[in-house]
Structure 1
Amino acid sequence: MKNQLSAFLLSGGVMAVSLGVLTLGYYLNDDSGPELEIRKMDIAIAQPPPPPPPQSQQVTEQADVNMQVEGAGAPVSMADIKVDPEIEIDKPERPDVAMAQPDWSAPEVDWDAYGLSELDGRPTLLTPVKIRFPKQLKRRGVERVVVKLDVMIDEKGDVTLISIVDNPHHELNREIQRFVKGSKFTAPHKADEAVRARFIWPVEIEA
């Protein structure tokens, strides 16, 4: 009887241990916890903004020059000048200019005329001899001067001074030129025809 009770208790203990092991294994396998639902989401990544366009650089030069005009008020300063460093200026073309050589030769004057001995008669002076005597000659005691003039008379009796052949006092040159320009002769003739005459004309000048 005692042996049967021990066997019964041993069987019950074995069953209890087996049941505990099964229960523990169940709980160990069921460790997933609550189920979670995971949804796939498409996320759009924003693109970074494009870089700003490069700004053209402007070079500003300031001239350190102050312009001031005497007596015109406050000084005027030069304004800022904007310079584009990329500007190219074409050099102007030089025009082809033909330089004419000056003609320094004096115009030829026809002094061809008859001498007094070849004329029908001597021309007569129609205008008076009026020459202002220089004061400086008077102060030096000069009261009378004789000059010799190379002149030509045209067909109308007008006189042209070719040269002053003899004049001891150059102070008289201007008065001689004025006097000859205003003089007039009768027209010289040869064979009853008006011609030109050239001769040395002595003129006496008195103070």
Structure 2
Amino acid sequence: MIFTSIFKRFFIAPLVASLLIAGLVSLALSILSQDASQQATLTVRKVNLAVLPPPPKPKSQQQKSQVDSAPDIQLNVDGGGVNMEFQITEALQDMAVTELPEIKVQNSQNSLVDILNFDWQAFGLSDLDETPRLLTDLKVRFPESLKRKGVRSAEVELAVLIDEHGGVLLKNIIRNQYPELNTAIKKLISQARFSIPKKDGVAVQASFNWPLEFADS
């Protein structure tokens, strides 16, 4: 019995321990070999990245490049012996030149500039040496538009000024029932000439209210 106990203590126990250690070592080696095999089976694939196209040019640069790429056209214009060189692009070739209508400006004694600059200071008829006399026959056509309305006569009153030469200027239309007569009034004023108004023998301007009657003769 003593021999059996000693044998188990000194021989069997270390043997069991050795077997356990050997088993643990082989288990660890097995696990490591599995990890190595898994790592060995990994496939490395090459990924090709798509190359993105460059961003479009700004609009201003595109227009500039288009303008720069257009061929230039040389024009030589004679201007009194001096050559003037112009550069235009094809985009401007089809542009039509529009001729502006000629505007004719006629000076009138009743224009705004004349009215603003004119000296309207004048004497009344009672201040003159004598009353000015009408020297011209006044002939104007009675408006057809008034005839169609059955109007055969019309009275108007005008504020006028006689200058130092006997010419007549219209200051204002005081009374006129029919606007159709405005053209006839202006024509009448342009025809009228008076004797020169005088004050103490000196030619002056005179102003007065002039009543007139237009009639269909």
TM-score (norm 2): 0.46
More helix by share: 2
Higher radius of gyration, 1 or 2? 1
